[in-house]
């Protein structure tokens, strides 16, 4: 017996070669499929969800058999003839990850779609062009608010500690503050780059992020939308009642965000289908391509930024000089009562140096 087999046996590492008993597998599969109200997920996605959510490894054929016996309507909904064909094209890979990031809002659960008065749940997402990784995705009250989108962009910068070379959007007015923030950071940290900092395209051409919304709807979006609709159909929610509106806004955005987080986790870790004619990497998880771009003939094109610049009041030189003067005073406690006396004392030291 190999060392790996011994360790797997010692720590009881699950594997599809030793799945749970069929009754247990049936219970787990049935639970996950039942949560998919819209019946959009096939055996492969259900298998991935079982691994992520229940740490259960069940062969795909077993899952397919259970789904066929217990949920035959799902296959009828998903069969290829039900889908609308889309225009196809080849994406240019560029030089590497974080070179181009695609941004877009998703409004399939806004007020018009839900038809439940003023309540609305939008989503805003950002996706890496070369790796296909979803970098940031969040539920927001209004995906067309410029301040909200600008804040999301800065959250992205804080999360990764870098900016991309180019932001690609669909040209909506909500990108104004994001444009301003990114342009300033590009000028400061990547002034030598000739690549455009900001590009606006029609939605039909911004396909890297636009294409991800279909996967979101299939994974969890349609299911959540159907669940929200129950409140209208059963009369649980009264759109003219302010208490109902506030409680809806307190509960359902959390549910949507949980679904988004699960989708992002699934998408970034799932192995994509191998496409030999594709220009961008395929047959690997987006996280793998993003974290190890050199294995796919790419580089990390992200531009490192100093996050402390956002909180910097003075130059490094003056900060060092003032710090020494403050230390000479014994580093007294700064309060609103002592601040001016410390100011005068430090001023005297700085003048004499």
Query: Residue 201 gets which letter from DSSP?
Result: -
For residues 75-102, give the mean pLDDT. 73
Average pLDDT value for residue range 168-188 = 91
Mean pLDDT of all residues in 72-87? 69
Look-up: residue for tokens 């403050």? 326
Answer with the residue of higher pLDDT: 84 or 277: 277
Higher pLDDT, 17 or 324: 324
For the segment 136-151, the average pLDDT, to the nearest whole number, is 96
Look at residue 37 and tell me whether its pLDDT is greater than 60. Answer: yes
Q: Which of 109, 112, 163, 118 is nearest to 136 (CA)?
A: 163
Q: Distance between CA atoms of 276 and 272, rounded to whole angstroms?
A: 12
**Mean of pLDDT over the chain:** 90
The alpha carbon dihedral of 70, 71, 72, 78 has a sign of negative
Report field, pTM of the whole predicted structure over 0.95: no
* pLDDT attached to residue 221: 95
Rounded Cα–Cα distance for residues 271 and 287 (Å)? 9
Helices and strands (DSSP H and E) totals, the chain: 14, 9
Which residues on adjacent β-strands are paired with residue 198? Answer: 167
pLDDT, residue 52, reads 86
Q: What is the pLDDT, as a whole number, of residue 91? A: 61
Is residue 125 classed as helix, strand or coil in its secondary structure? strand
For the segment 237-242, the average pLDDT, to the nearest whole number, is 94
Q: What is the structure's pLDDT at 83? A: 58
Between 219 and 16, residue with greater pLDDT: 219
pLDDT interval class at 227 (50, 70, 90): very high
Report pLDDT for 311.
67
* pLDDT in the model for residue 306: 81
E strand or H helix at 347, and its extent?
helix 339-352
């Amino acid at each position: 017996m190999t060392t790996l087999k011994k360790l797997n046996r010692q720590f009881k590492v699950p594997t599809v070669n030793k799945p749970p008993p069929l009754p247990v597998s049936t219970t787990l599969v049935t639970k996950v499929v039942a949560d998919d109200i819209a019946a959009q997920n096939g055996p492969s996605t259900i298998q991935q969800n079982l691994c992520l959510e229940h740490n259960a490894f069940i062969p795909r054929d077993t899952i397919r058999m259970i789904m066929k016996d217990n949920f035959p309507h799902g296959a009828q909904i998903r069969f290829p003839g039900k889908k609308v064909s889309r225009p196809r094209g080849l994406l240019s890979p560029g030089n590497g990850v974080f070179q181009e990031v695609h941004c877009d809002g998703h409004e399939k659960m806004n007020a018009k779609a839900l038809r439940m008065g003023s309540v609305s749940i939008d989503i805003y997402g950002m996706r890496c062009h070369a790796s296909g990784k979803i970098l940031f995705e969040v539920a927001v009250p209004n995906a067309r608010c410029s301040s909200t989108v600008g804040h999301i962009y800065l959250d992205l910068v804080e999360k990764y500690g870098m900016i991309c070379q180019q932001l690609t959007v669909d040209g909506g007015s909500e990108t104004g503050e994001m444009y301003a923030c990114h342009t300033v950071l590009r000028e400061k940290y990547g002034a030598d780059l000739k690549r455009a900092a900001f590009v606006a395209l029609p939605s039909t051409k911004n396909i890297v992020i636009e294409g991800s919304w279909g996967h979101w709807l299939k994974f969890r979006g349609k299911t959540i939308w159907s669940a929200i609709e129950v409140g209208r159909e059963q009369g649980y929610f009264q759109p003219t009642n302010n208490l109902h509106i506030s409680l809806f806004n307190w509960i359902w955005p959390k549910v949507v965000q949980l679904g988004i987080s699960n989708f992002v986790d699934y998408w970034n870790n799932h192995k994509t289908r191998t496409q030999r004619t594709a220009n961008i990497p395929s047959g690997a998880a987006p996280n793998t391509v993003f974290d190890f771009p050199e294995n796919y003939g790419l580089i990390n094109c992200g531009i490192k930024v100093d996050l402390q610049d956002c909180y910097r009041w003075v130059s490094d030189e003056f900060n060092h000089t003032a710090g020494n003067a403050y230390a000479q005073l014994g580093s007294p406690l700064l309060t609103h009562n002592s601040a001016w006396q410390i100011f005068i004392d430090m001023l005297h030291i700085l003048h004499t140096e």
